[in-house]
Amino acid sequence: MKQLLAMLLAFVTLLTSPTALGYVPEVSIDTAEKLPQSIAEALPAEMSFAKAEGDPDTLMVLMEKVDGARQAFFFGRNEKSEAYALESQSAILPVINGEAASVGFDGYVYIHLGSGDRSWNGTFEQDDQGNWMLASLNDGGILTSYWANYLEMVTVIDEYTNTDSYVNIERYVYGEYLFDRNLSHFDISQMPTSSKEATEMMNTDGYAMVKSDTREMRSHLRAAPSQDAISYGEYYSGTPVKVDSVDGEWAKVSVGDAKGYMLCEGLAFGEEMKTVTTRFPSDHDMGSVVMDLTEDILLYAQPSTSAEVVGIYGGRITRLTGHFVGDIDDEWFHMICDNGLSCYIQKKYFWNGNG
């Protein structure tokens, strides 16, 4: 699932400019005179109009300074009054190698700066707070915030292979970004140019990753620092954990909202995290999702059907996808959704057919 997203974003960001993307904004405005009055009145008078595009509810207006530097302004429409209000704006996007910034918008923001060896491509996605955050780089690497922003991740694209099908090799690196992904604070001198460079700009102190040689070898999350203690679940290689403390052979950790203890011998710390092979099972590995369209596959806050329902698995828009990181028992998987939600899904929806 995340591989598919990586492939799509790689295709987008490897192109040289947003104009080559093939995206088709629902609304495109080519002259300032065509702008809604509520937008025109909110734009800086000292800048000239470059273009506007988006959809009827959200418009991006690109403005240009005398020196060619550009700035994007994002407007949202009030459903009742139908007037637009400024919701956010980018930092100034500089001229590089004599080229003005190329910016596209169709629900994502695509930015291309410069040319040749001095070029930068990035895709920005709006978060729950309305901020436009760097989400992918020109090599297709994905940047994500997990678990209420206390864990962040870079998906590293190591290799592309064109065979009978499109294959990409992914690794995940967890920690805290040492650069600001917010488009409103954009500073090209501080931005990574690739996913591998982004991993070098992360603080991995206080984080670890479950490691193992096979999918069958998993690390227990236990209630106490003892192999005789209750197990809350068995976690696959590649599972990110936040390390609260280390005492001898045990680490006190958090996996999403689940807290407990793991043996240090089953964890990778620091630079070793960059070498871990992810061994998460997927619905493809297990065969197939039971396609009963009369029943939603619910995601729960805890491994119990009496717990709060926090989402619906599969599909698009409000439906969630992600990775199965842990085996809780015979009935439940622990799941990390692509939007960072930590939740639980019943195993009964998966079966060993057609896989």
Main-chain dihedrals φ then ψ at residue 9, nearest 5 degrees: -70, -30
For residue range 109-163, list pLDDT tens digits in order. Answer: 999 998 777 789 889 988 878 899 888 887 666 676 644 344 566 666 444 333 3
- What sign does the CA torsion over 298, 304, 310, 313 have? negative
Residue that terminates a domain, selected from 146, 177, 203: 203
Residue span of the structural domain in which 161 resides: 2-203
**280 belongs to a structural domain:** no
For residue range 273-331, list pLDDT tens digits in order. Answer: 878 888 888 644 444 444 444 567 889 999 999 999 988 876 433 455 678 899 999 99
37: region left, alpha or beta (phi > 0 left; psi from -120 to 50 alpha): alpha
DSSP labels for 270-318? GGGGGGPPP----TTTTSEE---TTS--EEESSSSTTSPEEEEBSSSTT
Which of 151-160, 174-183, 196-205, 242-251 is least confident? 151-160
**55 and 192 both lie in a single domain:** yes
CATH number at residue 266: 2.30.30.40
Report the mean per-residue pLDDT for the chain. 80
Higher per-residue pLDDT: 178 or 153: 178
CA distances from 203 to 82, 99, 175, 206 (A): 44, 33, 5, 9
For residue range 221-276, list pLDDT tens digits in order. Answer: 999 999 999 999 999 998 989 899 999 999 999 998 899 999 999 999 988 887 88
Burial letters for 1-32: b for 16+ Cβ neighbours within 10 Å, e otherwise?
ebeebbbebbebbeeebbeebeeebeeebeeb
Average pLDDT for 154-181: 59
Q: Is the pTM of this model over 0.75?
A: no
Burial letters for 127-163: b for 16+ Cβ neighbours within 10 Å, e otherwise?
beeebbbbbbbbbbbbbbbbbeeebbbbbbbeeeeee
Average pLDDT for 48-75: 96
**257 and 292 both lie in a single domain:** no
**248 and 172 both lie in a single domain:** no
Residue that terminates a domain, selected from 171, 203, 235: 203
Higher per-residue pLDDT: 158 or 203: 203
